[in-house]
Chain A
Amino acid sequence: GESVGLHLPTLSVQEGDNSIINCAYSNSASDYFIWYKQESGKGPQFIIDIRSNMDKRQGQRVTVLLNKTVKHLSLQIAATQPGDSAVYFCAENGGNAGNMLTFGGGTRLMVKP
């Protein structure tokens, strides 16, 4: 079936470095993508989203890139801080017929001081 997946289960970076978290999706009908951050014991927190008519969107210290040709999504975090340590999930909405978010398996980001 269609699915959203992540390449790396764990990413360890030095404080101050940039982080890149990748996500592959297989549903070609997907037109809306979201990145969530989940800290231990908490619910997913919205970070940034992007629609399929865009290939890049920037927020505060975060950038999402969408490559529809290869069905790839990435989250870039600039100047990674200890507070960025969490599990990051990408999610897609399945296109116009979607009633749910389909989540990837998650990538754990560990920031070393």
Chain B
Amino acid sequence: NAGVMQNPRHLVRRRGQEARLRCSPMKGHSHVYWYRQLPEEGLKFMVYLQKENIIDESGMPKERFSAEFPKEGPSILRIQQVVRGDSAAYFCASSKDRPNTDTQYFGPGTRLTVL
């Protein structure tokens, strides 16, 4: 049973470009979460999605960031017009059931570097 998969593992973008991060949840999991981690810090919640629905985006910056989890295919975290402050590790997690009842399992992360 494959774990949570994320790609790319490393992504380099210049300021002003777009970054697209992909996440495929564990088999049988329909709840997806995105977290951001700065060096030497804990993970900060960004957004929680179920298939075709954004459930909670309270941790998402108001501009330039968006997320989706389509009926078919992986969840996508999209960052438009990236700035240097967007450089971080972005982790996706998934769970089988609702977040307050089930464990979240994390992917290996995408490390975004903005030049």
Binding site for B on A (CB under 8 A): 31-32, 34, 36, 42-46, 49, 89, 93-106
Contact = CB atoms under 8 A, between A and B. Distances in A.
19 contacts: A43-B6, A43-B107, A43-B108, A43-B109, A44-B91, A44-B106, A93-B100, A97-B100, A99-B48, A99-B55, A100-B33, A100-B45, A100-B59, A101-B99, A101-B104, A102-B45, A104-B42, A105-B42, A106-B40
B91 to A, nearest CB: 5
Contacts, number: 63
A99 B49 CA distance: 10
A70 B55 CA distance: 32
Contacts of A102: 45
Interface of B: 4, 6, 33, 35, 40-45, 48, 55-56, 58-59, 91, 93, 99-101, 103-109
Given A43-B108, A100-B48, A95 B42 contact: no
A44 B41 contact: no
Residue among B44, B48, B93, B104 with most chain A CB within 10 A: B104
A98 B103 contact: no
A31 B101 CA distance: 9
Contacts of A99: 48, 55-56, 58, 99-100
